[in-house]
Structure 1
Amino acid sequence: MDAIAQHYPQHIATLRQRSDALLAEHNLAGMVIDAGYPAAIFLDDMEYPFKANPHFKQWVPLTDNPHCMLVIRQGAKPQLLFYRPVDFWHKVAPLPTESWVEQVELIEFARLEQLLELMPQDKQQFAYIGAHADHAASLGLTLVNPKPLMDGIHFSRSIKTQYEIECMREANRIAVIGHQAARDAFMAGASEFAIQQAYLSAVGQGENQVPYGSIIALNQNSAILHYTKLEQTVPAQRLSFLIDAGAQVNGYASDITRSYAYESTGLYAELVAAMDAHQQQILAMIKPGVAYLDLHLDMHRRVAQMLNQFELASGSEQQLIDLGITKAFYPHGLGHPIGLQVHDVAGFMQSADGTEQMPPEGVTVRCTRIIEAGMVLTIEPGLYVIDSLLNDLSDEAKALLNPVRIDELRPYGGVRIEDDVVVLADGIDNLTRQFGL
């Protein structure tokens, strides 16, 4: 039995323990978790790609089965209401037979109107978890995504079971294969579009199956943080390549970024090496009890060091931070929680009652948690030449910049390095680098 399947029974046992405690705390008999269904495209007979409710796929490894539902009751085996219509227009999913099915009570139904009779009798004691309040109403479920319950579920999702970690480990393994194929395509002279095709082919997942739209950026496009408009023509010069791309396994995501210089020497190659070293030093600081925000702020000090090292700016670390210069070169956060969603829930939550700690004013970061064992986090520092941000700096800040050196770096765009890591009691398990990337 593979590691994922081996750990699934304990995963379900943990979810049942968590849900039993939360349901009892909130005086509920259970909850109905809706997988969801595709949204119709306006004035068309087609639908947008289906994305399963993350709460649904936490319980069962089904990511492409709309109209299914889970009925979770205190102290009882989860019921999976599995939709299998009679349909000659589309391929109908077979009933699952894998070992995980032993952990649920599988109930097949063929007509959507049957759902009403499959709902619990005491509907008022059940919460509906899902995106379709109108659907919930049609089933007689009036308690839709109650915040106290959702806060408890989201907070508990921060600590991953071994099953979840193994799913993300496999998602990293697959994505690393894609990253290696993409790197080779870049070195061989492929366009952004062709590199994307090489990546998807290597991971064996379509662009609607991977957890997010891949960022495949050559040269100056690397400075566009969420660049997805892939060019089909090959640039006149191959200078730099930034790839931010992941894969998914059983609904769990990986999120990996690497930057490559076409020439093995020079300013950009040295910048990539320096960023990689700083990223690994940040990784070495991770352990339970450390504040994620402190890691982010430490990275700003490191960016200040790099700005001085590469003569992009000059000044003390504190000057470069206080004047907003490091934020102009490094405008995003250090990373984020990851799991069922790429930017997973509860990054700001401090307790299961929904208490949040937002970042200090002017600080951009997606996580303010105190790090705990069992969390899975990304660490992705970067440095870019983004003219709109540099132009917005004060005259005092601009006086510390080196325009000549910035002009030299601008055609390369920027650099970012990202790994996915599990927090252990005494350090980390790096899910990305263990596969040789």
Structure 2
Amino acid sequence: MNADARHATLAQLYPDHLRTLTARADAALDDSGFDRLLIASGRLRYAFHDDNPLPFKVNPSFKAWLPLSDLTDSWLVYEPGRRPKVIYCQPADYWHLPPSPPQGYWTAHVDVVVVRTPEEAARHLPAAERSAIIGEPEWALGDHVPNNPALVIGRLAYARAAKTAYELEAMRMASRRAVRGHRAAEQAFREGRSERAIHEAYLHATGHSDLDLPYGNIVALNEHAAVLHYQHQRHDLPDAHRSFLIDAGAQAIGYASDITRTHGNGDATFQALVDGVERVQQALCDRVRPGVDYRDIHLAAHLGLAEVLRDLGVVRMDAGRMVETGVSATFFPHGIGHLLGLQVHDVAGFAAGPDGGSIDRPAGHPFLRLTRVLEADFVVTIEPGLYFIPMLLDGLRARPEAAGVDWTLVEHLSRFGGVRIEDNVRAVAGAGPENLSRDAFAEA
């Protein structure tokens, strides 16, 4: 399917998506006592004591309704029983390129008012009284001050975990885009290029700039793969290209993908580690089904990864004992994943229900980002990993369990940093999971 056909599909799916959003808003407004929903797109912020703007990120609640990720000083207005209205700010500006005139499939389903200034936008907003106003406090316009009612935001965020058909198609597009970058990045690694050059190959293949990415790419050679959120991209070349971990996503009409792959360069022991994590990861992906407690997937990840450590001889200990004593957490110190959608770490991951409350993480697992029971059309990441992190290994050396560790093997594998493999997976009612990432790789 080419780009035109994919956007035609989005155009067909958008009306149902909008009906779903209005139904969710109707219920949230009715239960909270508000008459209408006003959502600010956001406003440029500037660096301290400077006239250079910081990178703009649109309000996720705004882009849930509209495929507009770069539009500042604009508003979505929804009142039950009426068509949504977009107050679209298109400044008369010759210093910067203003937004294009409103165009695309979405314009047939909303009322659009074009304004030239934020102050003009204020004149087209309905009364602030009895309005649920969503946004940052500094986005206020006159008496339209964001009040962010907890019940309204909680209801909408909780429902957002289940994706509409329109959103799922956008996320498939984001996956395909990211896969183009991953393939180019792997090729650049095989050619012996630097982290920065690999990153540039990714950008070129996806058509993104650094500012377009849904999050900063993790492009890690060798020992850098042991830094979970490695934030640098070095220009210099390492002494050898032993391993390469890339955690990089893409976006399509405001929806994100989030994919990680790890590549070796001929070392049999490290490749066995990669293959072991791959086997565990695929088994975990198969667990992504409606009715499954995501916490159980996380705990199963620890057990599966402990078995990999045991089978490779890294730790001579029963897998269950590794989990009980926290040894597995030395090598797998993060959560198994998170919700994905308009945001990379999408909202309401701990919500007990639409009206509030939270679901605790399992004891001893402080970094898990999702504790809910999965429902149909949730999209989550599944990203197990095994790492050789010096500060965590130092802690393990001081414990009695250190006697069961093959420290010579650990020293060898530490030169490769670690392994993480991540896919984006949809829970499907009445069928097996849909793996958006693997499908995109297969299509490529």
User: 2:172 corresponds to which residue?
Assistant: 169
| SS of structure 2 residue aligned to 1:412 | coil
Contact 2:289 2:428 in 1 (8 A): yes
Normalising by the residue count of structure 1, what TM-score does the alignment of the two structures yield?
A: 0.97
- 1:405-425, CA deviations, whole angstroms, 9 ceiling, x for partnerless residues? 101100000000000011101
Amino acid at match of 1:29: D
- Identity score, percent: 39
Distance apart, 1:142 and its partner CA: 4.7
Contact 1:191 1:233 in 2 (8 A): yes
User: 1:353 corresponds to which residue?
Assistant: 355
User: 1:88 corresponds to which residue?
Assistant: 94
Amino acid at match of 1:209: D
Distance, in Å, in 2 between the alignment partners of 1:161 and 1:50 is: 26
| Residues matched between the structures, number | 433
Distance, in Å, in 2 between the alignment partners of 1:308 and 1:267 is: 13
Corresponding residue to 2:186 among 180, 183, 188: 183
What runs of 5+ residues in structure 1 fail to find an aligned partner? none
Q: Write out aligned runs for 1:21-100 (5 A).
A: 21-100=27-106
Q: Does 1:105 align with 2:111?
A: yes
Distance, in Å, in 1 between the alignment partners of 2:418 and 2:139 is: 46
Amino acid at match of 2:36: G
User: 1:429 corresponds to which residue?
Assistant: 434
Q: Does 1:250 align with 2:250?
A: no
| SS of structure 1 residue aligned to 2:404 | coil
Normalising by the residue count of structure 2, what TM-score does the alignment of the two structures yield?
A: 0.95
Distance, in Å, in 1 between the alignment partners of 2:353 and 2:416 is: 43
Q: Write out aligned runs for 1:173-252 (5 A).
A: 173-252=176-255
Corresponding residue to 1:398 among 396, 402, 408: 402
Distance apart, 1:119 and its partner CA: 1.4
Amino acid at match of 1:141: H
Distance, in Å, in 1 between the alignment partners of 2:139 and 2:269 is: 57
User: 1:385 corresponds to which residue?
Assistant: 388
Distance, in Å, in 1 between the alignment partners of 2:368 and 2:234 is: 30
- 1:109-132, CA deviations, whole angstroms, 9 ceiling, x for partnerless residues? 0122112211113x211011011x
Contact 1:124 1:143 in 2 (8 A): no
Contact 1:126 1:143 in 2 (8 A): no
Distance, in Å, in 2 between the alignment partners of 1:160 and 1:87 is: 37
Contact 1:214 1:243 in 2 (8 A): yes
Amino acid at match of 1:149: V
CA RMSD of aligned residues (A): 1.2
- 1:205-261, CA deviations, whole angstroms, 9 ceiling, x for partnerless residues? 101101000000000100100012111111111100000000001110000000000
Corresponding residue to 1:126 among 108, 128, 131: 131
Contact 2:331 2:389 in 1 (8 A): yes
Distance apart, 1:361 and its partner CA: 2.8
Distance, in Å, in 2 between the alignment partners of 1:143 and 1:217 is: 40
Distance, in Å, in 2 between the alignment partners of 1:159 and 1:22 is: 16
Distance apart, 1:65 and its partner CA: 1.0
- 1:307-359, CA deviations, whole angstroms, 9 ceiling, x for partnerless residues? 11111111111221122110010000101000000000011112101111120
- 1:369-428, CA deviations, whole angstroms, 9 ceiling, x for partnerless residues? 111111000100000001101212352122221111101100000000000011101221
| SS of structure 2 residue aligned to 1:89 | coil
Contact 1:16 1:75 in 2 (8 A): no
Contact 1:127 1:142 in 2 (8 A): no
Contact 2:245 2:260 in 1 (8 A): yes
User: 1:140 corresponds to which residue?
Assistant: 143
Distance, in Å, in 1 between the alignment partners of 2:172 and 2:145 is: 38
Contact 2:245 2:263 in 1 (8 A): yes
Distance, in Å, in 1 between the alignment partners of 2:145 and 2:178 is: 41
Distance, in Å, in 2 between the alignment partners of 1:262 and 1:135 is: 50
| SS of structure 2 residue aligned to 1:343 | coil
Amino acid at match of 1:126: S
Amino acid at match of 1:33: I
User: 1:408 corresponds to which residue?
Assistant: 412
- 1:8-36, CA deviations, whole angstroms, 9 ceiling, x for partnerless residues? 11100110111111111111111110000
Distance, in Å, in 1 between the alignment partners of 2:286 and 2:145 is: 48
Amino acid at match of 1:355: G
Q: Does 1:13 align with 2:15?
A: no
What runs of 5+ residues in structure 2 fail to find an aligned partner? none
| SS of structure 1 residue aligned to 2:405 | coil
Distance apart, 1:5 and its partner CA: 2.0
Distance, in Å, in 1 between the alignment partners of 2:146 and 2:62 is: 17
Corresponding residue to 1:285 among 281, 287, 290: 287
Contact 2:139 2:146 in 1 (8 A): no
Amino acid at match of 1:200: L
Contact 2:387 2:419 in 1 (8 A): yes
Amino acid at match of 2:143: G
Higher mean alpha-carbon deviation, 200-209 vs 315-324, is at 315-324
User: 1:366 corresponds to which residue?
Assistant: 369
Distance apart, 1:143 and its partner CA: 5.8
Distance, in Å, in 1 between the alignment partners of 2:239 and 2:335 is: 32
Distance apart, 1:3 and its partner CA: 2.0
Contact 1:330 1:382 in 2 (8 A): yes
Distance, in Å, in 1 between the alignment partners of 2:388 and 2:108 is: 54
